[in-house]
Amino acid sequence: MIKQYQLSDLELRGLYAQDKNVANFVELYKRHYSKIYSYSLQSNKNQEAAKEITTTYFVNMAQKLTCLTQPKQFVDWLSNNFQEAGHHSDDAPEVFTTTF
């Protein structure tokens, strides 16, 4: 049996979209929380705002991830989701272009 840590982000996204298995989303969360939080903190210089933006980002991601129909658009979708969480899309961290 394949473990979540062995899967790519795109594979995890696809599995989560299919079966809503929380373990797949949790793996995505674990992989990317610190990157998103660090970037938010760097941008805002405020820990509470960074936590709120990061939480909003992952809540939006969990709610909307199943709506994404083209897996190859995942990076663009993440960037747009980041914008909805409180940042401009041109402020998106490198995580959107290098890890997915």
pLDDT at position 27, please? Answer: 94
* Domain coordinates in residue numbering, the chain: 23-98
Burial of residue 80 (CB within 10 Å: 0-12, 13-18, 19+) is middle
Phi/psi of residue 54, nearest 5 degrees: -65, -45
pTM to 2 decimals?
Answer: 0.69
- Each residue of 66-91: pLDDT tens digit? 776 665 666 666 666 666 666 554 55
Cβ neighbourhood burial of 61 (10 Å; 0-12, 13-18, 19+): buried
